[in-house]
Structure 1
């Protein structure tokens, strides 16, 4: 698994690191993303501290799981949740490559998620977990969900497939058809994983500032919102070789 990423925090001088976080453990072929639920800002809480602690603990949990024999994203998520003490709530998606079984195992809570792409075509997209528009499932230590709600999936993989993991800042601002077109060009041009992540993230950013753009977020709002959604954007691309 060869990995590249792009993180674009939205412009906020009070939170220069943004509210997204991610980790990549290439040795144990595990990656994850988390998106801090912004409502906590109304309570004076920087939820980015929570997401970064959650991802740090996920990285540690990946190592601990690997020492037991193999990495289980659900158990990594459970351990990270248990050991994260900062205030806040977050969506989270963790995936790991099981090279022995040639499968990708995932655990997902909320509206961050992943795409499996083969030959420039999206063949799987993780479903959104939400109670309603703008209300995703979320982990947290105050009136939030716990890891029992995590959706688990095991997908068969083969050489030359691409996994793309992103927070809602990516998924809300770029259509699957746009992603497929960019990926096909990237394959033809033999772009590195980091270069593909950069292209996806920057187009999502461009769309997010367009007040009249047709975006997944605008469509999902059923008329309540027009254009893109300004947000932190995280994109991780993994080439399976």
Structure 2
């Protein structure tokens, strides 16, 4: 995997780092995203701290897992969760490439997720886990979920496939058809992974500020919300080579 990423925290002077977090570990072919659940702010808790600690511990656990053989994303999540002590909660999605089997293996909790793209077409979208609109499954220490709820997936991959991972700030603000158009142009222009991540993230950002945009979030809300959703936006793009 050749990896590029972009993080665009929403403009909040009280939380300049936002509530998303991510990591990339190219040596061990593993990437992950997390999105701290904003509802904690009512209790004076910055869930971004939990998300960042979870991803830092996931990075460490990826190394530990690699020493045992192939990285297992669910075990990475379990180890990271066990060692994360901050208050708050977070969604999480961790994906690794098994280059022996030519598969990607993923563990996902909540409404972050990923697309697998082949020849410019999305051939797989990870399902989201939520108890209701705006209430995703979430890892945390205070009456939240634990990694046992993680949905595990294993998918065959081919050379030149593109893996695109994002928090809901991306997924809520850009339709799959838009992503496919951008990816096809990126393939034509030989864009690097980081350049493609930047294009996707910035279009999601543009849509998030459009009060009248047709967005996945507006569609999912069943007319309770119109336009884009202002949120932290994380995009990771991995080219399978």
Instruction: Tell me what 1:104 maps to.
Output: 104
State the Cα deviation string for residues 42-92 of structure 1 (Å, max 9, x = none).
111111110000000000000000001110000000000000000011000
**1:118 matched to 2:137:** no
- Listed as ranges, the matches of 1:37-186 within 5 Å are 37-186=37-186
> SS in structure 2 opposite 1:32?
strand
State the Cα deviation string for residues 120-169 of structure 1 (Å, max 9, x = none).
00000000100110011011000111101000000001100000000000
> SS in structure 1 opposite 2:22?
strand
> SS in structure 2 opposite 1:230?
coil
Instruction: Tell me what 2:234 maps to.
Output: 234
CA–CA separation in structure 2 for the residues paired with 1:20 and 1:154: 25
Instruction: Tell me what 2:20 maps to.
Output: 20
CA–CA separation in structure 2 for the residues paired with 1:119 and 1:196: 15
Count residues with an aligned counterpart: 241
Instruction: Tell me what 2:224 maps to.
Output: 224
CA–CA separation in structure 1 for the residues paired with 2:143 and 2:227: 31
> SS in structure 2 opposite 1:68?
coil
> SS in structure 2 opposite 1:223?
coil
Instruction: Tell me what 1:211 maps to.
Output: 211
> SS in structure 1 opposite 2:67?
helix
Q: TM-score, normalised by structure 2?
A: 1.00
What are structure 1's unaligned runs of at least 5 residues? none
